[in-house]
Amino acid sequence: MNNNYRLNFYILGIEDEFVDQIDPQQLEIKRKGAVWNKRTGKQYVENIAKKTILTTYEAGFQPAVDQLIKFIKENEFVNILLQSSREVSLQVCVDLDDECRVPYIRFGPEQLDFFSKIQSDIDFHIS
């Protein structure tokens, strides 16, 4: 099964005091100072937490967004991170594995309202 949609939810600029409290089973963490490009030696300049949700055309885009929203709403610690972060961003990645298929990306009003309330940017990457 090919995952055609990938939702990457980033919380950027997390304070150092919160980093060790993040459960790696729930959020991936990139620590400030860790090398992100071995060739150039470039490092992360801030702490970043990331939650990824994968789905397919068949399973649908909106249920994956609802799953992400549910995760955020039900996780008290994630809400603490949101309040203390510098930036929040949702990255929607679409893999066009079939050039004849057109991706269906739709956010409902409640979904857009939620991401607006947490002041999240929404970026789209289609490849």
Select the more confidently predicted residue: 94 or 71: 71
**Residue 101 phi, psi dihedral angles, 5° rounding:** -90, 135
Confidence category of residue 4, pLDDT binned at 50, 70, 90: confident
Q: Which residue has the tokens 């991936």?
A: 28
HEC secondary structure over the chain: CCCCEEEEEEEEEECHHHHCCCCCCCCEEECCCCEEECCCCEECCCEEEEEEEEECCCCCHHHHHHHHHHHHHHCHHHHHHHHHCCEEEEEEEECCCCCCCCCCCCCCHHHHHHHHHCCEEEEEEEC
Domain ranges for the chain: 5-126
Identify the weakest region by mean pLDDT among 51-65, 68-82, 95-109.
95-109
Q: 123: closest CA among 81, 79, 99, 87?
A: 87
- pTM of the model as a whole: 0.88
What mean pLDDT is predicted for residues 35-42? 89
